[in-house]
Amino acid sequence: MTTPARPIRIGNGAGFWGDNLDAPFLLARDGGLDVLTLEYLAELTMAILAHLRSKDAKAGFITDFPELLERLAPLMREGGGPSIVTNAGGLNPSACSARCAMIMTGAGLGNWPVGVVSGDDLLAWIPAWIGEGVDLAHFETGEPIATVADRLVSANVYLGAQPIAEAIVGGARVVITGRVADASLTLGPAAAHFGWNWHDWDRLAGASAAGHVIECGAQATGGLWHDWANLTDLAGVGYPIAEVADDGSSIITKPADSGGLVSIGTVAEQLVYEIDDPTRYKTPDVDVDLASIQLADVGPDRVSLRGTKGQAPGPRLKLSAVYRDGWTASGLVAVVGRDAVAKARAAGRIVIERVKRAGFDLADSLVEVIGAGDVVPGVVISERMPFEVVLRVTVRDPRRAAVERFCREIAPLVTSGPPGIAGYASGRPSPRPAFGYWPALVPRELVASEVRVRSAREWTSV
């Protein structure tokens, strides 16, 4: 009788680009991991990376990752360290791998195999697909993508776990991808470790559920927790670890002696984060029935996930595209005194009116009074008007000149607006490129991933 492989211990040290800088290092050092995952990409992140790539063809990847790799190098060199799987490649996995390879080679890790997963970047294919009648309509509006085709700056499909597993089976100790589904960062190493069949839907669903729990970092270990005031050492919150077993079940935990909490509550809240139908959470690899999961407290900071059911995924993959949408800027001003809310709203209207009188009828504008319920409009209604608020005015327009004029109309409020303008919460705003998000579906058969595994030393010459 074959002995089942031991559980694989996968920890996620980043839930987005800009997450805690120390968390991945501490997790790699203290977590007893087999694999460290780093999930950096969100829709906004892709827009930022597209802007960076437009200015430098060698940019477009997560610059925090090479810096982290430099910090992790001694652990990797001295004790082997965990393998690393990350979507830090962003829009430019090859450039990211080349930069990381230089760091690894310089740190004595030139022989470590590095896998690069590509094939998610579909921007070059869009014009031909439009001509062929491929349906890439916007999820919400139903508009055809042809309406923004000439302004597209990126178009990336969510790849799944199979190319990640292929890279690991091929020997990669560091795997760098572009756009992949968040949960696939966990499923890929698990599937490679156990040698799962890619039609074993329940196992795939179980590991995907674990990946979904840990993908947002500390949200599963006490971050955003409603009972946050009673948590221990939230400043030193531990980032999550999934111990995935051969049957697809898992235990969610965190490093010993770290802050925060792993409980049925923290895990359940993360399970229902960013989902639609809980009985059919869609990933490129498997449709997961989150409602089938049985949660149990199995020890301090240890929660098990069992019984997860899955079924075959659909024939289309999610496409995340970004297009140029003119220029934007935001200005912030503090307002104090009696009638602070009314004065702030009036000041916002004054700014927009002055821009209009200067000859620019702005395409979009938004006046918000922070402190008066505008951040969550209609949810919180104050019984008493606040004595101090912050006015935030945001505009967007195809014309840079229109946005530049708006940026010059904030300062005059100090002496020509309502009384109580107390000062700036920021300096004079500057126009910046505005980007629009285009979610769509692309037929699965049109997408082909590519996996390359080379030593770090070989990647330095790419």
Between helix 400-407 and helix 340-357 the angle, nearest 10°, is 140
Tell me the pLDDT tens digit for each residue of 251-266: 999 999 999 999 999 9
Between helix 184-194 and helix 201-214 the angle, nearest 10°, is 130
Asked whether residue 333 falls in the same domain as residue 352, the answer is: yes
Asked whether residue 351 falls in the same domain as residue 302, the answer is: no
Q: Please check whether residue 83 lies inside any domain of the structure.
A: yes
Strands 294-299 and 250-253: unpaired
Asked whether residue 281 falls in the same domain as residue 341, the answer is: no
Asked whether residue 116 falls in the same domain as residue 58, the answer is: yes
Of the candidates 314, 309, 273, the one whose C-alpha atom is nearest the C-alpha of residue 294 is: 309
Q: Could you identify the residue written with the tokens 């285009």?
A: 438
Tell me the pLDDT tens digit for each residue of 291-323: 999 999 999 999 999 999 999 999 999 999 999
CATH code for the domain of 383: 3.30.70.100
The total number of structural domains that make up the chain: 2
pLDDT at 37: 98
Asked whether residue 103 falls in the same domain as residue 239, the answer is: yes
Q: How far apart are CA 108 and CA 295, in angstroms?
A: 44
Asked whether residue 54 falls in the same domain as residue 87, the answer is: yes
For 394, counting Cβ atoms within 10 Å of its Cβ (0-12 exposed, 13-18 middle, 19+ buried), the class is middle
324, 222 in Cβ contact below 8 A? no
11, 258 in Cβ contact below 8 A? no
Q: Which helix (H) or strand (E) holds 269?
A: helix 264-271
Q: Please check whether residue 127 lies inside any domain of the structure.
A: no
Mean pLDDT by 10 residues, the chain (462 residues): 78 96 96 97 91 92 96 87 96 96 94 96 96 95 96 96 98 97 98 98 98 97 93 95 98 96 96 94 98 97 98 97 96 94 96 98 97 84 84 97 97 93 80 95 97 93 70
Asked whether residue 309 falls in the same domain as residue 329, the answer is: no
394, 388 in Cβ contact below 8 A? no
Q: Please check whether residue 445 lies inside any domain of the structure.
A: no
pLDDT at 450: 97
| Residue 293 structural domain | 8-120+158-314
Assign 443 to helix, strand or coil: strand
pLDDT at 1: 42
Q: Please check whether residue 329 lies inside any domain of the structure.
A: yes
Asked whether residue 266 falls in the same domain as residue 409, the answer is: no
Q: Could you identify the residue written with the tokens 């987005």?
A: 16
Asked whether residue 257 falls in the same domain as residue 399, the answer is: no
Asked whether residue 307 falls in the same domain as residue 351, the answer is: no
Helix and strand numbers (H, E) in the chain are 13, 19
Q: Could you identify the residue written with the tokens 């652990």?
A: 75
